[in-house]
């Protein structure tokens, strides 16, 4: 997992990958967050194959696999993601 915890790290994140599609996605998101004033409030995680839910929770403080409003887990009927 790659963790980008500062605005500067997020802006530089596209240079941290050799995958051109991921680089484009990271660059676009960084521009979006900067233009809306959210860049300094953003924690960006790039979850990679082999990363565990426990590692994600440790880095982010929550699991993207569980909706915090209703407690429904990913893969269960009625699950709605709450993150981007």
Q: For residue range 60-75, what is the model confidence (pLDDT) as tens digits?
A: 999 999 999 999 999 9
Instruction: Give yes or no for residue 83 having a pLDDT over 80.
Output: no
CA distance 66 to 12: 29
Q: For residue range 6-52, what is the model confidence (pLDDT) as tens digits?
A: 999 999 999 999 999 999 999 999 999 999 999 999 999 999 999 99
Torsion 34-79-23-56 (CA) sign: positive
Q: Is 3 helix (H, G, I), strand (E, B) or coil?
A: strand
> How do beta strands 2-4 and 44-46 pair?
antiparallel
pLDDT reported for residue 81 = 86
pLDDT reported for residue 82 = 83
pLDDT reported for residue 84 = 67
pLDDT reported for residue 78 = 94
Closest residue by Cα to residue 47 from 68, 66, 27, 64? 64
Instruction: Give yes or no for residue 59 having a pLDDT over 80.
Output: yes
């Amino acid at each position: 997992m790659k963790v980008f915890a500062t605005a500067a790290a997020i802006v530089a994140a596209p240079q941290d990958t050799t995958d051109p599609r991921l680089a484009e996605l990271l660059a676009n998101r960084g521009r979006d967050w900067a233009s809306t004033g959210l860049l300094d409030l953003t924690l960006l995680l790039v979850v990679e194959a082999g990363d565990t839910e426990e590692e994600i929770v440790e880095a982010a403080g929550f699991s993207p696999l569980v909706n915090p409003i209703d407690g429904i887990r990913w893969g269960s009927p009625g699950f709605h993601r709450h993150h981007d």
